[in-house]
Amino acid sequence: MVQRLSQRVQQIAPSATMSVDAKTKALLQAGQPVVNMSVGEPDFDTPVAAAFAGVQAIVNGNTRYTAAAGTVELRRAIAEKLARENGLAYTPNQIVVSSGAKHTLYNIFMSILDPGDEVIVPAPYWVSYPEQIRLAGGVPVVVESDESTGFKMTPERLAAALTKKTKAVLLNSPNNPTGAVYNASELRALGDVLQNHDCLIVTDEIYEKLVYGVEYTSFAAACPDLMDRTLLVNGFSKAFAMTGWRLGYVACAEDLATAMASLQSHGTGSPSTMSQAAGLAAFAAFNSDVVSAFWRRRDVLVAGLRNIAGIECELPDGAFYVFPNVRAAFGRAYEGRVIGNALDYAEVLLEKHWVATVPGDAFGAPNNIRLSYATSLQNVEEALRRIQDFHRVLGF
């Protein structure tokens, strides 16, 4: 019998975040009072100016294909944004707009990797990085970090992971799932290690606007000598609450951009014309009140978790996640069921106390769980009450 599925597809691990979200929604539809702390999606609306621009594009008949790399107008606006906010000089020809930052990352790995090429991936990592690298024939090389390093890859660990097969190093700051943010000196220290190693640097900066009390620095700005080797990924989903619009981009050397535009032309083609119109308007419509709201929720959530016996929690500097360590619960029993790992912890918390989280195993950190505070302050406070009750049952 003919094998219906390719080995490539059979080797893909399902997205843990999407799986948890699907289970959570099923419970909600069944009438269960779940507090969803699992999904990485802002609970704010798309800025009105951006939404109106998208609708206006439709009404005006601006619904046809654009260039595969995106409209010149949007790519020019992205270049202006990168110059104004990040101190980086790019031309529109160095920018490719895609259907979300996830799509952008997929294009990158498909364009730069040959079978056996290694990509250094600091852990904890976003769930899709290793899978996308494997789909492109590459080998993810995980570099561990934990609370002792602030969930950041150190120069020493980076240097130890580099080999002749290293094609790229991936950096995500602010980080999903930890919220860790590399400062300029930390980025320069990593850049010093990479100066003498001929590899590319992929920087996922999708959460750059969501930082709390710290200054954000783009890797290419901290390490200008490495700008030609850097592929800067960003998008509109998180800061502008435009997840469903599916709009992201990469800025990089022109030869890399040309290759990715060509790949995209044979895959999805151009990104949504209406979404591009909305993205163009979004740059002038960023609402800083969103940052203030996230900041407040972060403080309440971290303070509450630190007051629960059996939980250790770092204070994240960015994104909208906290990543508490729950290993103290391992080995304890809940109504006869032993909590053996973070997956057990997350499942029992969801099934018995109706709080949806994501187990850290999915992010390469089996002692932790991820909670998203991209939800109301009321939900944050209710989740804390339920987690406190959960830990009382566990005997803390």
Asked if 333 contacts 319 with a C-beta cutoff of 8 angstroms, the reply is: no
19 & 67 share domain: no
DSSP codes joined into one string, 120-185: EEESS--THHHHHHHHTT-EEEEE---GGGTT---HHHHHHH--TTEEEEEEESS-TTT-----HH
269 & 168 share domain: yes
Asked if 146 contacts 178 with a C-beta cutoff of 8 angstroms, the reply is: no
Backbone angles phi, psi at 354, to 5 degrees: 60, 40
Tokens linked to 225 = 């000598």
pLDDT for 16 equals: 65
2 within some domain: no
CATH number of the CATH domain containing 317? 3.90.1150.10
CA distance 238 to 64: 26
227 within some domain: yes
CA atoms within 13 A on the CB side of 57: 20
266 & 312 share domain: no
62 & 102 share domain: yes
Asked if 34 contacts 24 with a C-beta cutoff of 8 angstroms, the reply is: yes
Per-residue pLDDT tens digits for 55-91: 999 999 999 999 999 999 999 999 999 999 999 999 9
CATH number of the CATH domain containing 62? 3.40.640.10
Q: Alpha carbon 202 to chain centroid distance?
A: 13
CA distance 190 to 182: 10
Neighbours of 378 (CB within 10 A): 9
Tokens linked to 367 = 């002692």
Where in the sequence is the domain holding 310, given as residue range(s)? Answer: 7-32+288-393
103 & 252 share domain: yes
pLDDT for 24 equals: 82
pLDDT for 12 equals: 82
Give the Cα-Cα-Cα angle 15, 346, 128 (nearest 5 degrees).
20
Which residues fall within 8 angstroms of residue 351, CB to CB, at 6 or more apart? none
Q: What are the residue ranges in the chain where pLDDT is below 50? A: none
16 & 134 share domain: no
CA distance 358 to 360: 6
CA distance 391 to 217: 39
pLDDT for 17 equals: 65
Which residue, chain included where needed, has tokens 């150190």?
A: 154
42 within some domain: no
